[in-house]
Structure 1
Amino acid sequence: MSRTPASNPPDPHPGRLRTVHVVVSGTVQGVGFRWACIQVAEDLGLVGRVRNRSDGDVEVTAQGAPDDVSRLIAWLHRGPRWSQVMDVAVTDLRPGSVRARSFDVDY
């Protein structure tokens, strides 16, 4: 009997991946944004990273199935309860360019 892994491994076919770089502006630091983002991304089976920027924004790099990346982007427009998102700037990157195996905080 084979076991299904808890999270989806990266798709070995880059044509089926979407990779994005996102900058989220507003009240997004000190409100649990990074930790909530990790939970949402992991639930969607995405890989990548999230980090606070020195200018007060949060930066996200995410990769996975296109529909799941779109779901994360939709969530980034809302953020967690205490955040106040003012702007979300999304840049598509070359599919498959993220080599991470999980979704983590980058300090």
Structure 2
Amino acid sequence: MSDNQGFFERVYEVCRKIPYGRVTSYGAIAKYLGAARSARMVGWAMNASHNLEDVPAHRVVNRNGVLTGKHHFGGSDAMKQLLEAENVKVEGLQVENFKDLFWDPVQELS
């Protein structure tokens, strides 16, 4: 297993723990994994996860609650629709009440 594959799998393990109706950020996952400067790498892992049905990649947004990964969901509104199906309100491309819905793995899993 390459280093990237190992890191990606660790990202997926964290992502699988994000509760229904909550969101986290690429940076929060990276920080939890001890790689605080690797938010972009977490994004790459999310991009590579779309064939994994048990990884809720739609729950991972940027540090401001913006659906920056939207274009990796087939260029549609699928990411927004998946979040809204979990009662997460999205206005434009941004999660409303982001601070209230934010799930911090450092606090929740440590």
Query: Do they fold alike, i.e. is TM over 0.5?
Result: no
Q: Which has the larger Rg?
A: 1
TM-score scaled by length of structure 2: 0.28
- The higher relative CO (CA closer than 8 Å, separation ≥ 6) is in 1
- More strand by percentage: 1
